[in-house]
Amino acid sequence: MSDIKIRATMTGDSADIKVLMNHPMETGQRKDAKTGQLIPAHFIQTVTATLNGKPVLTAQWGAAISKNPFLGFKVKGAKAGDKVNISWEDNTGAKDSAEVAVA
């Protein structure tokens, strides 16, 4: 099961896409309260969005992005029923993706 929630709705001639990604987004600079040891860095590095298999957004992120990041953007020329796919890869090699049809 994916930890990505996507909502894609038509607004005029554009698709309004909203994405919520469940991820801890650790910077590697915070200490564990019990042990005093640094919590290892664990953050999303690359986010990619496609519309019907064609890339419409690529983002390079770092440790400064908040826990459970939200991403919102618009895509001109989309139509109801088009497939939007969001995928990410983090600095540990973990990956996730989800797809939804534009409503």
The one-digit pLDDT tens for each residue of the chain (103 residues) are 579 999 999 999 999 999 999 999 999 999 999 999 999 999 999 999 999 999 999 999 999 999 999 999 999 999 999 999 999 999 999 999 999 999 9
How many distinct structural domains can be found in the chain?
1
Residues in the chain: 103
Alpha carbons 44 and 19: distance in angstroms, whole number: 14
**What is the pLDDT, as a whole number, of residue 65?**
96
Alpha carbons 28 and 46: distance in angstroms, whole number: 18
CA-CA-CA-CA torsion sign (62, 63, 68, 70): negative
Enter the pTM of the model.
0.92
| 49: Cα within 13 Å, side-chain hemisphere | 24
Residues 19 and 97 sit within 8 Å (Cβ to Cβ) = no
Domain that holds residue 77: 4-101
Alpha carbons 29 and 14: distance in angstroms, whole number: 40
CATH code, 41: 2.60.40.10
